[in-house]
Amino acid sequence: MSKISDYFKGVRKEISRIRWTNKKDLIKYSVSTIVFMIFFGVFFYAIDLLVALLRSSL
């Protein structure tokens, strides 16, 4: 049981060392991630559509 107790004490110590982001940065990073995902989704959709059109015309 002491090994389990030592493990959770170590986990608590490591969690206290984590530098958490503040709310402003978290929102900024989340919005930029969503924008990039939408951009690349549209980009690859357009490329797929272009390739499909080229294949169907041949």
Write down the pLDDT at residue 5: 93
Tokens of 42: 């549209």
Tell me how many domains the chain contains.
1
- Residue 32 located in a structural domain: yes
Q: What is the pLDDT of residues 19-50, one digit of tens each?
A: 989 999 999 999 999 999 999 999 999 999 99
Write down the pLDDT at residue 23: 96
Question: CA dist 57 to 45, 51, 53, Å?
Answer: 18, 10, 6
- pTM (whole model) above 0.85: no
- Residue 7 located in a structural domain: no
Provide the domain limits for residue 32: 20-58
pLDDT, average across residues 4-33: 94
